Protein backbone atom coordinates (compact mmCIF):
# COMPACT_ATOMS: atom_id res chain seq x y z
CA UNK A 1 0.00 0.00 0.00
CA UNK A 2 1.31 3.45 -0.89
CA UNK A 3 2.24 5.84 1.86
CA UNK A 4 -0.13 8.79 2.22
CA UNK A 5 1.20 12.30 1.84
CA UNK A 6 1.03 14.60 4.85
CA UNK A 7 2.35 18.08 5.60
CA UNK A 8 4.30 16.77 8.58
CA UNK A 9 5.98 14.11 6.47
CA UNK A 10 6.85 16.68 3.84
CA UNK A 11 8.33 19.05 6.45
CA UNK A 12 10.69 16.40 7.82
CA UNK A 13 12.11 15.82 4.32
CA UNK A 14 12.95 19.49 3.62
CA UNK A 15 15.98 21.58 4.54
CA UNK A 16 15.58 24.30 7.20
CA UNK A 17 16.28 27.02 4.62
CA UNK A 18 13.45 25.90 2.35
CA UNK A 19 11.11 25.62 5.34
CA UNK A 20 12.01 29.19 6.30
CA UNK A 21 11.25 30.38 2.77
CA UNK A 22 7.89 28.60 2.76
CA UNK A 23 7.08 30.03 6.19
CA UNK A 24 7.89 33.58 5.05
CA UNK A 25 5.74 33.17 1.94
CA UNK A 26 2.82 31.80 3.98
CA UNK A 27 3.00 34.73 6.38
CA UNK A 28 3.34 37.31 3.59
CA UNK A 29 0.34 35.88 1.73
CA UNK A 30 -1.64 35.72 4.96
CA UNK A 31 -0.98 39.41 5.63
CA UNK A 32 -1.91 40.35 2.06
CA UNK A 33 -5.18 38.42 2.24
CA UNK A 34 -6.01 40.09 5.56
CA UNK A 35 -5.38 43.52 4.05
CA UNK A 36 -7.40 42.70 0.92
CA UNK A 37 -10.28 41.57 3.13
CA UNK A 38 -10.15 44.80 5.11
CA UNK A 39 -10.11 46.94 1.97
CA UNK A 40 -12.93 44.88 0.51
CA UNK A 41 -15.00 45.35 3.65
CA UNK A 42 -14.30 49.08 3.78
CA UNK A 43 -14.80 50.06 0.13
CA UNK A 44 -16.97 47.44 -1.59
CA UNK A 45 -20.75 47.40 -1.62
CA UNK A 46 -22.43 46.02 1.48
CA UNK A 47 -23.13 42.32 0.73
CA UNK A 48 -20.27 41.83 -1.71
CA UNK A 49 -17.75 43.49 0.60
CA UNK A 50 -18.71 41.27 3.51
CA UNK A 51 -18.54 38.13 1.38
CA UNK A 52 -15.19 39.15 -0.10
CA UNK A 53 -13.79 39.94 3.33
CA UNK A 54 -15.06 36.65 4.73
CA UNK A 55 -13.52 34.62 1.93
CA UNK A 56 -10.20 36.49 2.17
CA UNK A 57 -10.05 36.13 5.93
CA UNK A 58 -10.97 32.43 5.78
CA UNK A 59 -8.11 31.85 3.33
CA UNK A 60 -5.83 33.84 5.64
CA UNK A 61 -6.76 31.63 8.60
CA UNK A 62 -6.14 28.55 6.45
CA UNK A 63 -2.63 29.77 5.62
CA UNK A 64 -2.00 30.58 9.27
CA UNK A 65 -2.96 27.01 10.18
CA UNK A 66 -0.21 25.71 7.86
CA UNK A 67 2.60 27.77 9.43
CA UNK A 68 3.40 25.25 12.24
CA UNK A 69 4.16 22.60 9.61
CA UNK A 70 7.15 24.69 8.47
CA UNK A 71 8.92 24.35 11.82
CA UNK A 72 12.34 22.82 11.03
CA UNK A 73 12.46 21.14 14.45
CA UNK A 74 9.26 19.22 13.80
CA UNK A 75 9.50 15.48 13.35
CA UNK A 76 12.53 13.41 14.25
CA UNK A 77 14.34 14.48 17.39
CA UNK A 78 17.60 13.18 15.96
CA UNK A 79 17.64 16.01 13.39
CA UNK A 80 17.68 18.75 16.06
- Read off the pLDDT of residues 5-43 as tens digits, 9 standing for 90 and up: 777 777 777 788 888 898 999 999 999 999 999 999 898
pTM for the whole structure: 0.75
Per-residue confidence at 75, pLDDT binned at 50, 70, 90?
low
Please give the residue that has the higher pLDDT: either 17 or 61: 61
Distance between CA 12 and CA 8 in Å, rounded?
A: 6
Distance between CA 70 and CA 22 in Å, rounded?
A: 7
Stretch (H or E) spanning 11: helix 7-12
- Please tell me the predicted confidence (pLDDT) of residue 7: 72
pLDDT(80) > 50: no
Amino acid sequence: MARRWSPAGWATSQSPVSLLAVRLLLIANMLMLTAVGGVSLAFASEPAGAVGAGVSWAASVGLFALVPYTNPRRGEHGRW
